[in-house]
Amino acid sequence: MRKGLGFCLSAVAALSLSALPTIAAAEQTITGTGTFAGVSDTVISSRTADGNLISVDEVVDSLDGVMVGTLVVDITVLIHPSGSEEIFGTATFTGNVSGVGTGTLQQAISASGLVPGVFSGRLTILSGTGDLAGLHGTVMFQSPPPTYSVMFVKP
């Protein structure tokens, strides 16, 4: 009886699995590079604490290369007395990603550097709209020179 029940359960499991839809591995990997240029930098607020300058800014950059469009960055910049800085916040890209299409990307940003203007960091995709919906990955950036590289995956 046990042998018959085991065979029956195996047959039911095999039939159940064969009824599942086949999932194609159609992920698209997007890599590339580009440049960015500052359009504006607006200080929303600033204060000092324990010798550190804390600034809340809105920065607008134009991007060219694998990403073409505008990046609006809302960041908090922490500048230490040594001149080192930490940057974190959110960014919204609106434009086109080569090979994918147009839409917006909501991203988290983290960066570090030295004042004045030497920095590197990462943007991590949180969500997207339009053709960019479902895109995930990162943008690595640095300045000088103001360049970036992307590694995206589109399911």
- Per domain, the residue ranges of the chain are 26-154
Q: Which residue ranges in the chain fall short of pLDDT 70?
A: 1-25
Query: How far is C-alpha 101 from the chain's CA centre?
Result: 16
Tokens of 64: 């060219």
Interval 37-68: pLDDT, tens: 999 999 999 999 999 999 999 999 999 999 99
Does the model's pTM come out above 0.85? Answer: no
Interval 27-45: pLDDT, tens: 889 999 999 999 999 999 9
**CATH code, residues 26-154:** 2.40.350.10
Query: Is residue 33 left, alpha or beta, with left meaning phi > 0 and alpha meaning psi from -120 to 50?
Result: beta
13 to 1, 20, 22, 44: CA distances (angstroms): 18, 11, 16, 61
